[in-house]
A and B are shown apart, each in its own frame.
Chain A
Amino acid sequence: MDPILIIVFAPLIASIIAGLGNRMLGDLAAKSITTGALFLAAALSWPIFIGFLNGSESAHVVPVLKWVQSGDMTFDWALRVDALTAIMLVVINSVSALVHLYSWGYMEEDPDQPRFFAYLSLFTFAMLMLVTADNLVQMFFGWEGVGLASYLLIGFWFKKPSAGAAAIKAFVVNRVGDLGFMLGIFGTFLVFQTTSIPEILAASAGMSGSTIGFLGMRLPTMDILCFLLFIGAMGKSAQLGLHTWLPDAMEGPTPVSALIHAATMVTAGVFMVCRLSPMFEAAPTALMIVTIVGAATCFFAATIGTTQWDIKRVIAYSTCSQLGYMFFAAGVGAYGVAMFHLFTHAFFKALLFLGAGSVIHAMHHEQDMRYYGGLRKAIPVTFIAMLLGTLAITGLGVYHLGAGFAGFWSKDAILEAAFARGTTSSTIAFWAGVSAALLTSFYSWRLMFLTFWGKPRWIESEHIQHSVHKTPEEAGEDTTGGYHPHESPKSMLIPLIVLSIGAVLAGQVFAPSFIDGSAEAVNGAFFAGSIYFNENLIHALHGVPYWVKYSAFVVMVLGFVGAYIAYIAKPDIPAKFVATFGALHNFVFRKWYFDELYDAIFVKPAFWLGRQFWKLGDIGFIDRFGPNGIAAVVQRGSAAAKVIQSGYLYTYALIMLLGLIAAVTYVLL
């Protein structure tokens, strides 16, 4: 049996057992089965990945079951294993296994644990189906499957109204993207008469000059197809315009945020663009859109990240921003680099989220950073882990030393690629990326300083007040309120430590493989045709001027210094800034008013229209003039008929007489 079958189906089976067994099975059994399945899957995934690194594995497809055959349209269940899949396998299964383990501690007091673990494993299965898809429809299956799991996990604490609302929002906004994805699949089938990804990719270049009719317009075929598919990617990867669901998704338990809304599911859009890279390379306009959307998102989300108080929301906007980097990397043709950032980001962002979860755990479910402070000594392991994560995301590293944290390798490569590409859109992306790097450094250090440095501000938090049974007045001078944060249990710390190692080393170790394709030569050997590999661009990327190579370093330092001044040296600066630039701050703090805008132009009108159609359309018009109208006519007619059907003999005689006269008249004349 091919190991990929075990990798993919073990989580599914575990999920079904834990989910249906639920209370009969008990917490411990449910947790053990799901976590065990995931560690098994992770253990089997690494050899495949390493096999592709050293060239001993080759791409293959494992057929599973016939799915659909309808006329010329056929697609089957099958698992595709190639280098691109292998990258995703290790990312998904490693992070998922660690998150399962972490949840033992984090969810310890939850009464509903089997359901939680069942959902986590179900998610992993769906994500694996997505990345092993050999045809667009199976990819869509995984795509919707992760959407379902995301919906269930965001709404896991379903008693909270905000969780229910966030879950629906996530699903429905994603469906907007899915509309594009589905139309993209339909169009692709129409053009290529197949949904098989390898066949489509092989034929893409040949279609690059053709045109097609779409909504009454005549458009370049590949551009419109790729654009439609990219709308799907924008939904899943929370890109500008379809990003509004991601911050709200933080209503879910923190391990979920780490697994789904940071490391894996939200990167599905990037994966899709990379998987279909030969197709996108036949679509210059679509690629330009990918670049611009990615660049805009990476800047826009980073601005919001600088103003939020909720620790998870800061990291959520950071995720959104980092996904923007990956997209513009893909847009300029550096797909390997995009995948590299996806890979490193999975480690350090999962680390940051799990670290934040550990902080929240220690602070009695308080998520507002205004009530943190001085936690460095109370929870030292968490602190170190978060520090390493922050160094990784801000991209600490020095080019001439050839050493750095994970984010240094991947983010800098993205900026270099954007610069080296040299078009207008890629140059815009470069500058947006540099600006966002400055903001990234600022908000990341702001988070660190607010949480771990300074004086404790704990007693202001209602959660802490509940815990210590004191009001701020009663606590007086002691701003800790007498609260003692505890370091998290081992089950939570071990994942932090493992991910810390990834955040430190993932870039250094894997940079040659991901960026150059192999350690020795620039030939894309690692990817082995699983993505479009642009050899010249990689050469040019290495050859950019030194100021480009150091730009990210410089802005990282500036961001750090800015955050240090604002939150350590002169803590009154933020308040003054807000007072001076109130309108600007409000605009950013309110997340550029996207939610308000969408509510006003989509949600409210939909309900209003629904009511109008119902009350005025169905009841007021169709029923009134349709069945009820006919009934009224019949009633009136029968009322008239009643007059003559009086039952008196003389009326009948009269009518008969009149009728007779009429008949005779008719015959005679």
Chain B
Amino acid sequence: MDFPILTTMMLVPLVGAILSLFVQAAAARRIALAATLVTFGLGVLLWINYEIGGAQWQFQERYELFAGFSYALGIDGISLLLIMLSVFLMPICILASWEAITKRVGEYMAAFLFMEVLMIGTFAAQDIFLFYIFFEAGLIPMYLIIGVWGGDNRIYASYKFFLYTLLGSVVMLVAMFWMVAQAGSSDIPTLMQYPFPPEAQFWLFLAFFASFAVKMPMWPVHTWLPDAHVQAPTAGSVILAGVLLKLGGYGFIRFSLPMFPDASADLAWVIFALSMIAVVYTSLVALVQHDMKKLIAYSSVAHMALVTAGLFAFNVQGIEGAMMIMLGHGLVSGALFLCVGVIYDRLHTREIDRYGGLSINMPYYALFFLLFTMASIGLPGTSNFIGEFLALAGIYQASSWVALICTTGIILGAGYMLYLYRRVAFGDQKNPDAAAMGDITPREWAMMAPIAAVVLWMGVYPESFLAPMRADIAALDAQIAASAPAGDADLVAGEPRAQSANAIEYDAHSAEGAH
């Protein structure tokens, strides 16, 4: 396709952002919704026209700018799916902010639309510096969304968010300069094939790791996330959990694994260790939370730990599983934050104990909340199961210990999520104001139903999502296979037993009761 669709997908929200700065609140909302819907429509076109099994990089655009730096876009299947996730969630975010945001609406919508531009840019960038600009600039609108439209303690949260994520990225930029000087190109596909010397890989890996680990976020650099989520407005949380947390995982897939395979293999144990700690630690922390958003935020850290462990399992199932968790988690945790937002809009508290018995007065809300809760704990038939199952299957091939510890997440996850659901939706209606809340409105239906549909689609027929990235992940796997550490299974064949375990001799004549 010659039509520069990727640029168009970025231009539409950009124009929308500029327009919404200059109009009244009501108009700004409409402009934002229209712009995100058009972008989503373009995304669907992008997906339809994406040729599965075709060239690795499609829809490429390239304009040389200066000093080797170029405006280069292009996507593979991995980017395609993450772009789809972003443009799918955006209109829902606008809807979620429709009534909740009343001050500086134009600026708010502009911030969201601008963020959409940057997210698409991050996933589509083919020049490493272009990537860096999009990647880092994404912080600014998020920082503003938390800092301006956030809760009571928004300044602390936005500062923490910014400090963490920015500090992590500075060293990455230095590493990028070195890499471009070494390889003589800032083109990402070229860099992915460039054999960096193993001793340099170690430092480069650490430099990138500093940035991606914070974005992920991995234990112990995760503490910005709960604060950011708690203070962010609902839509901010949705985007934060749905898309921004995926930047770290995308970074690992796009940079760390293909560019530094040896260092990745050498340091896989570090990733495994941090992931195992995160699964257990943050799940237990989630168990004792009183604030709904904090609980879901901590659960995100636990889920993202499965992503990192899956990626560094060095096999197809691990990486595909990690991708599927990212997509599934993006939808499900986004939806869970919407669920929190729905009742927060009514009662203005995130305190779990202020609710109870919502199944009685909000049955459809309870149904959606149940579906997303079940998806979050990886019930088969939902999106997250596919991801968790594949990732854990991949991890098991790398190490049974890591698989065992990571799989405890399915027990702990069920514990904290069902405990949350019980306190919110089950029990008696102990608070009259909570009991008086009405069920979800058509606008809220429009937010929840599409996500619910996709969650089930991904769970029942994940082939739609696995197929586009299959070739890319197979290529990645082939590239890193040589460095892959050996698993601990080490199956040793032996002489099969002559008989079944319960084989017995039988003498018919000696039997007393035989007939």
Contact = CB atoms under 8 A, between A and B. Distances in A.
Contact of B501 (A77, A189, A287, A611): A287
B69 interface: no
Interface in A188-217: 189-191, 205-216
B64 interface: no
B15 to A, nearest CB: 37
B501 A606 contact: no
Contacts of B359: 158
B147 interface: no
B463 A543 contact: no
Contact of A73 (B160, B363, B393): B393
B497 A208 contact: yes
Contacts of B289: 614
A532 B500 CA distance: 9
A540 interface: yes
B357 A172 contact: no
A287 B502 contact: yes
A585 interface: no
B321 interface: yes
A614 B288 contact: yes
Interface string A594-615: 0000000000001101110110
A178 interface: yes
A613 B512 CA distance: 66
Contacts of B390: 68, 70, 73
Nearest to A287: B501
Contact of A544 (B285, B316, B397, B511): B511
Contacts of A73: 316-317, 390, 393
Interface residues of A, number: 95
Interface stretch (A88-96, A275-283, A645-653): A275-283
A475 interface: no
Contacts of A79: none
Interface stretch (B22-30, B111-119, B244-252, B411-419): B411-419
Nearest to B428: A159
B157 to A, nearest CB: 11
Contacts of B133: none
A12 to B, nearest CB: 11
A421 interface: yes
Contacts of B412: 606
A67 B390 CA distance: 12
Contacts of A208: 496-497
A167 B421 CA distance: 11
Contacts of A207: 496
A151 B415 CA distance: 13
Nearest to B386: A68
A182 B389 contact: yes
B419 A215 contact: no
B287 A623 contact: no
Contacts of A420: 504
A208 B502 CA distance: 13
A68 B502 contact: no
A545 B512 contact: yes
Nearest to A143: B380
A160 to B, nearest CB: 9
A88 to B, nearest CB: 19
A335 B328 CA distance: 40
Contacts of B317: 70-71, 73
Contact of A542 (B164, B223, B515): B515
A558 B415 CA distance: 45
Contacts of B432: none
Nearest to B161: A627
Interface in B458-515: 460-463, 466, 470, 474, 477, 487-497, 500-506, 508, 510-515
B370 to A, nearest CB: 8
Residue among A70, A168, A185 with most chain B CB within 10 A = A70
Given A172-B415, A209-B494, A606-B415, A183 B403 contact: yes
A179 B407 contact: yes
A466 to B, nearest CB: 19
A216 B488 contact: yes
A171 B504 contact: no
A613 B285 contact: yes
Contacts of B470: 69
Contacts of B419: 168
B220 interface: yes
B379 interface: yes
Contact of A536 (B380, B491, B503): B503
B488 A191 contact: no
Interface in A619-643: 622-623, 626-627, 630-631
Contacts of B511: 539-540, 542-544
B381 A185 contact: no
Given A183-B407, A190-B396, A211-B494, A148 B489 contact: no
Nearest to B395: A186
A331 B334 CA distance: 47
Interface in B392-451: 392-393, 396-397, 400-401, 403-404, 407-408, 410-412, 414-415, 418-419, 422, 425-428
Contact of A212 (B389, B392, B418, B490): B490
Contacts of B418: 151, 167-168, 171-172
Given A67-B461, A540-B506, A610-B288, A186 B396 contact: yes
A227 to B, nearest CB: 13
A161 B504 CA distance: 53
B501 A281 contact: yes
Contact of B491 (A163, A190, A626): A190
A284 interface: yes
Contacts of A282: 496-497, 500-501
B224 interface: yes
A635 to B, nearest CB: 12
Interface string B148-181: 0000000000011001100000000000000000
A597 to B, nearest CB: 18
B477 A213 contact: no
Interface in A36-78: 65-73, 77
A581 interface: no
A255 interface: no
Interface string B314-332: 0111001100000000000
B288 A186 contact: no
A549 interface: yes
A182 B407 contact: yes
A537 interface: yes
Contacts of B71: none
B514 to A, nearest CB: 4
Contacts of A189: 393
28 contacts: A22-B363, A65-B460, A155-B426, A159-B426, A178-B411, A179-B408, A182-B389, A189-B393, A190-B396, A190-B397, A205-B496, A205-B500, A208-B496, A208-B497, A212-B490, A213-B490, A214-B488, A221-B491, A281-B502, A333-B504, A422-B504, A610-B284, A613-B281, A618-B223, A618-B226, A622-B220, A626-B220, A627-B164
Which 9 pairs across A and B sit closest by C-beta, in order of nearness? A543-B511, A333-B502, A71-B316, A209-B494, A186-B396, A610-B284, A141-B380, A284-B501, A281-B500
Given A543-B512, A630-B163, 8 more contacts: A68-B390, A71-B317, A176-B411, A183-B404, A190-B397, A546-B512, A607-B288, A610-B284
Interface of A: 22, 65-73, 77, 137, 140-141, 144-145, 148, 151, 155, 158-159, 161, 163-165, 167-168, 171-172, 175-176, 178-179, 182-183, 185-187, 189-191, 205-216, 221, 278, 280-284, 287, 332-333, 399, 420-422, 532, 534, 536-537, 539-540, 542-546, 548-549, 606-607, 609-611, 613-614, 617-618, 622-623, 626-627, 630-631
Interface of B: 159-160, 163-164, 220-221, 223-224, 226, 281-282, 284-289, 315-317, 320-321, 357, 359-360, 363, 374, 379-381, 385-386, 389-390, 392-393, 396-397, 400-401, 403-404, 407-408, 410-412, 414-415, 418-419, 422, 425-428, 460-463, 466, 470, 474, 477, 487-497, 500-506, 508, 510-515
